[in-house]
Amino acid sequence: MKAGLFSLIALLAFASTSFGADQPNFVVIFCDDLGYGDLSTFGHPTIKTPNLDAMAAEGQKWTNFYVAACVCTPSRAGLLTGRLPIRNGMCSDTRRVLFPDSSGGLPHTEITIASALKKEGYRTAAVGKWHLGHLPEFLPTSHGFETYFGIPYSNDMDMLRRESHFELAENEDFSLYNVPLMQDGEIIERPADQTTITRRYTEEAIKKIGEFSDEPFFIYLAHSLPHIPLFRGKDFKDTSTAGIYGDVIEEIDWSVGEVRKALNEAGVSEDTLVVFTSDNGPWLKFKHHGGTAGMLRDGKGSTWEGGMREPTIMAWPGTIEPQIIHDMGATLDLLPTFVSLAGGSLPDDRTFDGYDLSAFLKGKTETGPRDEMFYYHGEQLYAVRKGQFKAHFKTKTSYTSQKKAEIHEPPLLYHLGLDPGEQWDVAPSNPEVLKSLKELADSHTAGVERVPSHLVGKIGE
């Protein structure tokens, strides 16, 4: 009798948390340092990306999609929490990202996409680059992910001796980057063989699709590339007319194709929203090893459009109509959108900076809910966009010898519809627009309760 009662209780408990028939799966494919102009569907003339081209043709290509920051760690924090990094200490004006000697990471008080979806009965897996804290208490398995397979920070860290990234990329000597490959909380390979890393990330994601296909799932596949140093699999070596960088992008394109094929073979393609984007713009100082932002200005490390506007594609066969989306969106919007589609709700004990895109994705509204974007450089608000106008209060060129930001008084003003490359300052002829953007920026910063940075501490301090 007791055993039967226990079984009944267990069954009822499972039923209360099991997924409904209309709960979609989510796969986020997140690149590292991919430029706005690096895909053929976004205008690259020599890099071939047939799988992403097909995904864009069958789904939605977003031309005004942003990230929360112009460098790795804060951008990733923004995606997973739906909050600007200034709200949770995941940014800094000094150590702008986490390093192997960093003692901090994403606070446990933060709600991630994984932890939010887990409450709705979802299976969760993180694959690839994490960069939100490599110590056990900060790893993906401490933030709502059941499993983790990947490199916990950037692939250029733990360098054994200082050498030219260019020479190392051409020689493909991964042994000089002593980065660890981890399975959950254990290091299983060091140095990680980065010539096989894209393939192994892909295989792990496909494995999880097979394991999870009978339940709703969220898979976060965060590639370590095309961040410097560049590595490609043997099947992709010297196959692109765009050199080693093209080889790397074309292998990532292959990965996207394999993941989508796995979804189809598992019979869950029409139940799955796939989002492809990147964490920030291209690392321009590495020239032909660093990608391009196309017609957008500047790249990684800057708040010009090339640093924070990313090539983004979404596909959900049978649910979202194929089209090009010119409305604004951001990685900040993924958490509220996914939670809404899963049938959940967000707590009201904190400020979220993302918008629920679900109605817009499904064509139930003609315009998207996002009409503004805030551009942070570390802990400082450098620029703000509302509608087609963007005001720059400060600027700093990406990763160059410029030590201090240039302060603009009056601010620079650009009409991004007419001038997405930010070439012609229209501030003199639009004083009222500039005034309204300044008021928007002031209102925003007044509402931000700053917390101490979690990026500045070192192990042993």
Name residue 55's amino acid: M
- The yes-or-no answer on residue 131 being catalytic is yes
Alpha helix stretches (DSSP H) within 140-292: 165-171, 197-212, 243-265
Catalytic residue among 31, 70, 72, 91: 72
Euclidean distance between CA atoms 397 and 217, whole angstroms: 40
Contact 291, 417 (CB under 8 A): no
Contact 173, 297 (CB under 8 A): no
Contact 278, 70 (CB under 8 A): no
Contact 52, 260 (CB under 8 A): no
Tokens 């690149």 found at: 31
Long-range contacts of 333-337 (CB under 8 A, 24+ apart): 333/82, 333/357, 333/370, 334/28, 334/79, 334/82, 334/113, 334/275, 335/79, 335/80, 335/81, 335/82, 335/111, 335/112, 335/113, 335/116, 336/82, 337/361
Tokens 């030590």 found at: 403
Q: Considering Cα of 225, then 374, then 357, then 294, what sign does the dihedral take?
A: negative
Contact 103, 70 (CB under 8 A): no
C-beta neighbour count of 221 within 10 angstroms: 26
Strand, helix or coil for residue 440: helix
User: Which pair of tokens denotes residue 150?
Assistant: 């990947």
User: Which pair of tokens denotes residue 3?
Assistant: 């055993």
Partnered with residue 406 across adjacent β-strands are 395
* Closest-CA residue to 427 (of 437, 440, 441): 437
C-beta neighbour count of 183 within 10 angstroms: 13
- The yes-or-no answer on residue 108 being catalytic is no
Q: 405: number of CA atoms within 13 Å, CB side? A: 20
Catalytic residue among 131, 227, 289, 377: 131
* Closest-CA residue to 150 (of 87, 221, 82): 221
Q: Considering Cα of 251, then 252, then 253, then 257, what sign does the dihedral take?
A: positive
Contact 42, 33 (CB under 8 A): no
Euclidean distance between CA atoms 38 and 119, whole angstroms: 37
List active site positions: 72, 131
